[in-house]
Chain A
């Protein structure tokens, strides 16, 4: 059964059509890749699913519910978490607290309970979860450090921990491998796969690193100029002439 359904979605910015009648669906448990050249509309789609952008037409359903009926801050609670292409961490918080922010939707202590410290049990759980994820991603040593000043690849992993701490059903990753070394990319691919296996996760992956996309995804959608130009298992998509043309004639592996 499909977990996320994107149906006939259109997004315009003035004269620019960022998404044009985009339709696809993701089955539960898949690693689903969304690829395409710069400006194809991949991040725009993430922002539609996050409810940061309002599509001018179309529907987005998650586990049968209409996402477009929810405000942005309710998306996390419905089971969707994401990372950002250009990092959206909170420099004023420690690494651990950054991850804890991700647990917001899964916890409930408000002003009253927090001010009177009636939140201790919940706080303990959040910290344990956050530390567990940091440990899982090899970042436990950094828990108390401020985020500011850490290397780019580390920050990307902190964002991944923040997204995972809410125990989402669908994880949206926007270029998680950008800025990583070859060895780190391979490791990240393994991490994404095992997170999927351990947590019954479904992953929507946007990535320019073709080695990783072809290596770990079950299905791929290729976009160009806001429209879908190909869809299918990695091997099929790779051989598709339209895809090769979109990537300026270069063989897909080398991009």
Chain B
């Protein structure tokens, strides 16, 4: 690409990201409290997808067990807040550490096994996790769930359990919902930034090298085992931050939220957004959020004459979409956008440069 073209490209990226930042920041001002709460719940989804994308997209390790790791983050936060009354951000950080350790433990078998066999191990983790929660329902509340509460003085001056909230400091002039959105958006932005730094570094190069050619990585001096296991840990920590935020927003955790279906949603978010890209998980989370909060409610409870419940069939619909998308646009939304940009760049250059130049910014294979 010519220098002028690259400059134009950089400038349009800056403009687009600027507009996006403004829109994202303005949303809670424009939306009502209900919708602000809904879109805030997309943030933990984006974080889980970010973690899964680091593992699967960049490092080539498949996991369908991230729903369970997300759950470990959620339950850690619930227990820390209920038992020790830590500040919420401290509970999130502690959950990240706990999930890192859990991720390393789940990732250890990956040293001996690969590909589909690893997927099977994570499948087992995903399937067993809700059952373990049931087993220890004394602590976890099982499928009935566990409320995250604080003792607070009620209006009549009596101490009573009250569901935790994210309280906006008065100086902000924000409603609690708006504050929660901004705080967790900031946490997510920090996580995305760290992952971006990571994938563009020596560590990121070795992750991708392992994904594409393990022997080449090893011969170049990469300690494949260490990188794989640590990537699993970091990936789990990110999912754990998502789970922790999810728990705080719901003020409650229950085993039904952390089933295999949750894992599949994360996977769909990665594939829809575009794997091995930084924006992909965020875009994928928005797509899934829109689907869950806008499309699903619009579906009929029953479709006559078969009396099908379309709402209950959403995982099926999502799964079908996933398969179709993988066939039609394997690069996801980000990949398709890159391809489109490359094609437009080619068209823009044609009159000046004569023969059609080959696109150099095409989607990664």
Taking beta carbons and an 8 Å cutoff, which residues of A are in contact with B?
50, 52, 72-77, 82, 84, 88-93, 97, 100-105, 107, 109-111, 114-117, 119, 122-123, 126, 144-146, 148, 162, 166
- Give per-residue flags for B202-241: 1 if the beta carbon is below 8 A from chain A beta carbons, else 0: 1111101101110111111111100000100010000000
Interface residues as binary, B325-365 with A (CB distance below 8 Å gives 1, 0 otherwise): 00000000000000000000000000000000000101011
> In the complex, are the beta carbons of B201 and A123 less than 8 A apart?
yes
Residues B217 and A145 in contact, CB atoms below 8 Å apart: no
Q: Is the CB of A146 within 8 A of B364?
A: yes
Interface centre among B208, B209, B220 (most CB of A within 10 A): B220
Please give, as numbers and ranges, the residues of chain B lying within 8 Å of A126 by CB-CB distance: 202
User: B interface, how many residues as a size bin?
Assistant: 20 to 34
Is A119 a contact of B201 with CB atoms below 8 Å? yes
Q: A145 vs B213: C-alpha distance in the bound complex, in angstroms?
A: 18
**Given A89-B213, A91-B212, residue A104 in contact with residue B206 (CB < 8 A):** yes
Task: Flag if A74 contacts B221 (CB, 8 Å).
Answer: yes
- The CB with the most chain A CB atoms within 10 A, among B206, B211, B218, B223, is that of B218
A74–B220 CA distance with the chains assembled, in angstroms: 9
| Given A111-B230, A146-B364: A88 touches B202 (CB 8 Å cut-off) | no
Pick the residue among A84, A114, A148 that contacts B201 (CB under 8 A).
A114
19 A–B pairs (Cβ distance < 8 Å), ordered by A: A72-B219, A73-B218, A75-B219, A75-B221, A76-B221, A84-B216, A93-B205, A97-B205, A101-B205, A101-B209, A101-B217, A104-B202, A104-B206, A104-B222, A114-B201, A114-B204, A126-B202, A148-B365, A166-B220
A115-B208 in contact given A72-B218, A74-B221, A104-B220 (Cβ < 8 Å): no
B contact residues around A90 at 8 Å (CB): 208-209, 212-213, 216-217
Q: A92 near B220 (CB under 8 angstroms)?
A: no
Rounded to whole angstroms, the CA-CA distance of A117 and B194 in the bound complex is 8
Q: How far is the CA of A7 from the CA of B222 in the complex (A)?
A: 27
Least CB distance, A179 to chain B, in whole angstroms: 19
With CB as the reference atom, state the residue of chain B lying closest to A114. Answer: B201
**Contact of A92 with B224 in the complex, beta carbons under 8 Å:** no
- Please name the residue on chain A nearest to B203 by beta carbon: A114
Smallest CB separation, B112 vs chain A (Å): 15
Give which listed residue, A74, A93, A103, A109, contacts B203 with CB less than 8 A. Answer: A109
When C-beta atoms are compared, the residue in chain B nearest to A90 turns out to be B212
In the complex, the 6 A-B pairs of residues with the closest C-beta atoms, listed nearest first? A105-B221, A114-B201, A76-B221, A88-B216, A90-B212, A114-B203
Across the interface, do A52 and B220 meet the contact criterion of CB distance under 8 Å? Answer: no
Residues of B within 8 A of A111 (CB): 198, 203, 230, 234
B194 contacts A100, C-beta separation under 8 Å: no
Judging by beta carbons under 8 Å apart, are A73 and B222 in contact? Answer: yes
Shortest beta-carbon distance, A187 to chain B, in Å? 25
At the interface, yes or no: B197 with Cβ under 8 Å from chain A? yes
For residues 176 through 212 of chain B, which have their beta carbon under 8 Å from a beta carbon of chain A?
A: 194-195, 197-198, 201-206, 208-209, 211-212
- Check B219–A82 contact: CB distance below 8 A: yes
- Note all chain B residues with C-beta closer than 8 A to A123: 201-202
Q: How far is the CA of A97 from the CA of B204 in the complex (A)?
A: 10
Closest chain A CB from B186 CB (angstroms): 17
Instruction: State A89–B212 Cα separation when bound (angstroms).
Output: 8
CB distance from B13 to the nearest CB of A (A): 15
Q: Per a CB cutoff under 8 Å, which of B220, B224, B230, B365 touches A76?
A: B220
Residue contact B234 to A104, C-beta cutoff 8 Å: no
**C-alpha gap A90/B194 in the complex (Å):** 23
What 14 new A-B contacts, CB under 8 Å, besides A90-B216, A104-B220?
Answer: A73-B224, A77-B221, A82-B219, A88-B216, A90-B212, A92-B365, A93-B208, A93-B209, A104-B205, A104-B222, A115-B194, A115-B198, A119-B202, A144-B360
Q: A52 contacts which chain B residues (CB < 8 A)?
A: 215, 218-219
B248 within 8 A of A: no
CB distance from B149 to the nearest CB of A (A): 35
- Given the complex, which residues of B lie within 8 Å of A109, measured CB to CB? 201-203
Expressed in whole angstroms, the Cα–Cα distance for A101 and B364 within the complex equals 18
Output the nearest chain A residue to B224 by Cβ-Cβ distance. Answer: A73
A104 to B202, CA, bound (A): 7
Would you call B202 and A92 a contact (CB within 8 A)?
no
Is B102 located at the chain interface by the 8 A CB criterion?
A: no
Report how far A46 CA is from B221 CA in the complex, Å.
16
Cβ-defined partner of A92 (8 Å) among B215, B222, B364: B364
Complex CA gap A145/B346 in Å reads 16
Q: Say yes or no: A110-B203 contact (C-beta < 8 A), given A73-B222, A88-B216.
A: yes
Taking a contact as CB atoms under 8 Å apart, the answer to whether A92 and B198 are in contact is no
B288 interface residue per 8 A CB criterion: no
